[in-house]
Amino acid sequence: MGYLYTKDSVAPSSNVYITIRNRQGLIVGRRESHNIFVNQGRQWLRNHMAATTFAGIPVTANQNVCDGDPIGNADALSVVGKTFKPRYIGIGVKGALQTVLPAGSQTENAEISALELPVKTANGQWLKEVLPHDNLASVQQFPTAYSVRFRAIFGYNEISFANQPTYGTNVPISEVALYTSEAGQNDEPTNTGLIAYNIFAPVSKTPNFVLEIAWDLRV
């Protein structure tokens, strides 16, 4: 008996773009870097590709294999892991590149499971929901045929609000994380749903600026 074994490596990669604009819309600060796709994120991607069973699914084309079907079709099945989608971006003020005290120590590596020191994005809210992907032709949403961009825009009074603990209205952002819908927007972020992480030299968010974070995932 002979065996034919083939192997194709799929290596997800991503980049993070941090942009600060003043009230006139001019860019006054920008950071661009490659981030680490953590092990939890790799497992999340793997789970999206694996099904527990194909029993009961027609062999014809265009059959859904998912962990829930709102229409109630008979072909809705469970997958190895829930089909959580990237939904939120979290903000932190530590990481090894932070120069404002208290300094951080966390570096980018695949073992990262949480922001070192997360901060709220608004009163009672820890995570910012990314903008929807509703246009396949949009280069802002899908920069290439093989990548997707997750964008979050933080307004003048987000992150840098008056009663932000420790920092108040001048928040030295130095770490960000991408979370799936497994995380809760109003819950202090832990390791739940974190799939990618990035640190950078601090960017000051004050009420005079809008902050945009764009996260590209490419497979």
pLDDT band at 207, cuts 50/70/90?
very high
- Please give the DSSP secondary-structure letter assigned to residue 44: H
Helix (H) or strand (E) holding 19: strand 13-21
Query: How many helices and strands in the chain, by DSSP H and E?
Result: 1, 10
* Stated length of the chain: 219
- Residue 47's pLDDT is 67
- Please give the DSSP secondary-structure letter assigned to residue 59: S
pLDDT band at 77, cuts 50/70/90?
very low
For the cut 90, the answer to whether the pLDDT of residue 182 exceeds it is: no
Which range has the worst mean pLDDT, 28-32, 51-55, 133-137? 51-55
172: tokens are 């030295």
Average pLDDT over residues 10-26: 82
* Mean confidence (pLDDT) of the chain: 81
206: tokens are 């004050």
